[in-house]
Amino acid sequence: MEPFNMTPNSPSPLQPLSPSKPEAPKPVRPNTPYLLGTAAATLLWLMLYDQLHLLADSITHLLSETLGFSRQSHLGEAIAFFIYDTPKVLMLMALVVFGVGILRSFFTPEKTRAALAGKGAFTGNILAALLGIVTPFCSCSAVPLFLGFVTAGVPLGATFSFLIAAPMVNEIALVLLYSLFGWKIAALYLVTGLAIAMVAGWVIGKMKMESHLESWVHLVQSAPTMNSESKPSWGDRIAYGLDAVKEIVGKVWIYILAGIAIGAAIHGYVPEGVLAGFMGKSAWWSVPLSVILGIPMYSNAAGIIPIVQALLGKGAALGTVLAFMMSVIALSLPEMIILRKVLKPKLIGTFIAVVGVGILLVGWLFNIVIG
């Protein structure tokens, strides 16, 4: 996570950009080479992904023979988990970010803000939360867009719906959940995450807390990131998708490896039943405790899901694990520090309280309903 520099002598994503000369139009990229290259890369991706399990087993066996550990030992189980999940998560993330990067090339920030501005209270919350699904950002990098929405006249409640949904219910989380746990859990996470984003944003909007934005916020102007008058070629769109992969995966891969390493340690070394007693549905306090433990952490959906996989495999209750995951992604301490540059303490406290209550209710509900 890169902190925002708020000093007056340094430009920041949260400060107005100084006027500059318009850039000369960039040459349009040809379609054919990019389309052929994308087709070849997609075929290679599919072939490699199909053989991933065999490759991971072969590498684990080779390491066990070389280093002298048993595949059935705690260390062997942890290493096997890490070797298989690392390329799987990174490959899925790269594919999804690339696809969504191309999709986002069809929408300019101006069109997005125009679609949200002027909408009715709950309609704006719904649209903003749905927009969050196709924005592959961590919680901290969603803040500049959040600010852009506020300064463009989008209702405050709708901007919070986006801020909650963008990191918590994005396409990366859904694809990884589907690939690891199946469509039911992925759909469950989608519905509950969107419900929290919509309802929390609606509640904050009804509280009329615009006066608790920092005074400089309304002076910020958002600069366009793409010339809305030009129509990019497919070569341009593919290049835009590749740039998104380079930027996003390049920034978060270290958090992904850390998350997989923690998940591997849990998978290999934590005995069966220990987490079931600590994070099981029988203990009502396990849900609020998991939320409290998740807030100081910083991760994104791709980094936390391997930990979720290991926790569920060791017998932790689904509702408790979902609450933990949501708190890590939507209420991380680094995000709160960055938001302090935009929001006054009372509004930050309200945001934490409303979202936290929603997460607790989701955790308790699914611990009761799902056996």
Quote the CA–CA distance of 175 and 87 in Å, as a whole number. 15
Task: Tell me how far apart the alpha carbons of residues 63 and 261 are, in angstroms, rounded to a whole number.
Answer: 17
Give CA–CA dist 145/129, Å, rounded.
13
pLDDT at 309 over 90: no
Output the CA–CA distances (angstroms, integers) from residue 306 to 25, 262, 264, 309, in the order listed: 43, 8, 8, 5
pLDDT higher than threshold 50 for residue 207: yes
Highest mean pLDDT among 6-20, 42-56, 143-157, 268-282: 42-56
pLDDT at 273 over 70: no
Distance in angstroms (rounded) separating the CA atoms of residues 356 and 288? 9
pLDDT digits (tens, 9 = 90+) for 115-170: 666 666 677 788 888 877 776 455 555 666 676 676 666 788 888 888 888 777 87
Angle between helices 234-269 and 74-104 (to 10 degrees): 160
Residue 350 has pLDDT above 50, yes or no: yes
pTM: 0.63
Q: Would you state the pLDDT for residue 21?
A: 47
Q: For residue 283, what pLDDT is reported?
A: 74
pLDDT at 130: 83
Alpha-carbon separation of residue 177 from 20, 79, 336 (angstroms): 44, 21, 26
Q: What is the DSSP string of 323-360?
A: HHHHHHHHS-HHHHHHHTTTB-HHHHHHHHHHHHHHHH
Measured CA to CA, the distance from residue 202 to residue 120 in angstroms comes to: 11
**pLDDT > 90: percent of the chain:** 6
Mean pLDDT of the chain: 76
Residue 13, amino acid: P
pLDDT band at residue 44 using 50, 70 and 90 as cut-offs: very high
**Rounded Cα–Cα distance for residues 277 and 315 (Å):** 8
- CB distance 229 to 34 below 8 Å: no
pLDDT at 59 over 70: yes
Q: Tell me the pLDDT band of 188, cut-offs 50, 70 and 90.
A: confident
Mean pLDDT of 95-124: 71
> Coil, strand or helix: which one is 280?
coil
